[in-house]
Chain A
């Protein structure tokens, strides 16, 4: 296993597709900035692809001090082995102390393979990251003093179906690696014109056989943008039918918001999979979240409980959703929503 190198940079993986950055790298840079400042080290983004140098500017403006750029035609589209190989070589060369990835399909493919190749720890789907000390009590059991490891990355994540929150540390193996849930970390304000240091690296892919050929990519062009919405109206099994879901769209339209759903609503076919909010869907934190007919399983709450204001509408006064709500309306949503629309339009 790799040895303890508690000095290097904080890295975030700046994933790109078709030469475009998603929101994820900006979110990671927001958290990464905080970690790097606490440790007093540089924050760097790792940018891989083919002819993607132009994206470095966006990463500097989003908070990176440095961009490690690896360009190779073999990296044009994401392929696990090619990215893993180049990433592992880069880590060995530069020895960062922390590497974070988005818990996206790409991040959850790449990060485990990189960690496995380096023999280091990896925590999946973190909802928070902090720097702190770790007291290892195992040493005390063997008769010694408890050992304190300073400035460790505390990786905080829900586990066991969202019923517990665990703090994981990898105190003795470097780099410390984690994937971070999408939509949970706050991006920094973009600073136009902010610049940094661009470092180009060789991909070291010459002679490496890549066993996967990408034949075709069909992108889903979704007009649904839950993460970017200030107001979200979401429905669950209690909405009762796909037709009733239209009422939620009417309310969202009146408010200029978007419509989401719980896993139950998606499974019942009331709304599209892209609208799913919760542990297996998207995480949102809008200014206003209106929950309609959602009982509030922990898996769902994990994806919305940080909303600034939550209104819950449910016929069951004991539904767990009321425990996270700021306003509760015990009643039938088919009656309550039209009244709301009337009040908004009036």
Chain B
């Protein structure tokens, strides 16, 4: 049932920006190389967790008010995996921005490239995950919004539509806030917005082998075709100087692996005497008491 009284004709065009990331929670001994750096290849590549919440927010807007959902990812062709997942969950269209010129992009360059891609679809609503678990910066979403001059709302927990406005609840750290936001707008979404729905069985059959095709060919295949459109920087009008290393002001000067090191370590036996001795020591050096 659509919420007709709040609908507008044609519903809302939604774009969701998603990222394939290494599963940083699974960094174990095997994933560390001898020199202490991380072997990214040894980590499973996953659909960034909060981007799943962002996709769910978009799908729920479409379900309740009508419209379309377009998923966009930037990365290597392997990222088609998460775009297929998005299609299987209910996204109408999927696009991959993949280009050598984009290599080495920091958040400023990434947000520039994604803003060029998003612009192509003239969306009413853009959803991004709050942050990706490989960089944890939470910068790309607000920077895309700034470049498009869209209203930006971070830490989204809930969204309802009302004509040309969205009424949203967001976490402000010290509490929650309700905002009325004029479209077009971009939202960065937290896990509170809801878990991504499971795959739809019929869509799995249809989209599990969706192939990456040049954007012209993909779009000629028509609505609902099992294809992922490939976009280059030229296709979206992203100028070379603002992409990749050239468009990235930040430089990584140094990387060190985390080495766990405590101070002097003392093992205390779990006995009455052992623990009484420890407490006495802490009292003596004024840590407690």
B270 and A336 contact, CB distance less than 8 A = yes
> Given A122-B108, A344-B288 in contact, is the A116-B143 Cβ separation under 8 Å?
yes
Which listed residue, A106, A113, A120, A335, touches B172 by the CB 8 Å rule? A106
List B contacts of A323 (CB < 8 A).
260-262
List B contacts of A154 (CB < 8 A).
253
> Given A158-B258, A216-B177, A328-B267 in contact, is the A112-B142 Cβ separation under 8 Å?
yes
Which listed residue, B152, B175, B274, touches A80 by the CB 8 Å rule? B152
B250 and A123 contact, CB distance less than 8 A = yes
B154 and A326 contact, CB distance less than 8 A = no
Q: Which of A106, A125, A329, A346 has the most CB atoms of chain B within a 10 A radius of its CB?
A: A329
B178 and A215 contact, CB distance less than 8 A = yes
Sort chain A's interface into a size bin: 35 or more
List B contacts of A301 (CB < 8 A).
260
Residue of A at shortest CB range from B263? A326
B175 and A328 contact, CB distance less than 8 A = no
List A contacts of B270 (CB < 8 A).
329-332, 335-336, 339
Interface membership of A320, Cβ < 8 A:
yes
Segment at the A interface, from B83-91, B180-188, B203-211 = B180-188
Report the bound CA distance from A187 to B140 in whole Å: 30
Residue of A at shortest CB range from B142? A112
> Given A81-B152, A163-B258 in contact, is the A211-B182 Cβ separation under 8 Å?
yes
List B contacts of A206 (CB < 8 A).
none
Residue of B at shortest CB range from A79? B179
Complex interface bits, A94-126 against B, C-beta within 8 A gives 1, otherwise 0? 000000000011101101110111011111110
Report the bound CA distance from A167 to B143 in whole Å: 22
Interface membership of B155, Cβ < 8 A:
yes
List B contacts of A123 (CB < 8 A).
250
Report the bound CA distance from A299 to B136 in whole Å: 12
Nearest CB on B from A52, distance (A): 17
Nearest 3 pairs of A and B residues by beta carbon: A331-B270, A161-B24, A121-B249
Sample of 17 A–B contacts (CB below 8 Å): A80-B153, A112-B143, A115-B139, A117-B146, A122-B139, A159-B136, A161-B133, A166-B252, A170-B249, A211-B181, A279-B136, A327-B266, A328-B265, A328-B268, A330-B267, A340-B275, A343-B278
Binding site for A on B (CB under 8 A): 22, 24-25, 27, 32, 37-38, 106-108, 111, 133-143, 145-147, 151-155, 167, 171-182, 185, 248-258, 260-272, 274-276, 278-280, 282, 287-288
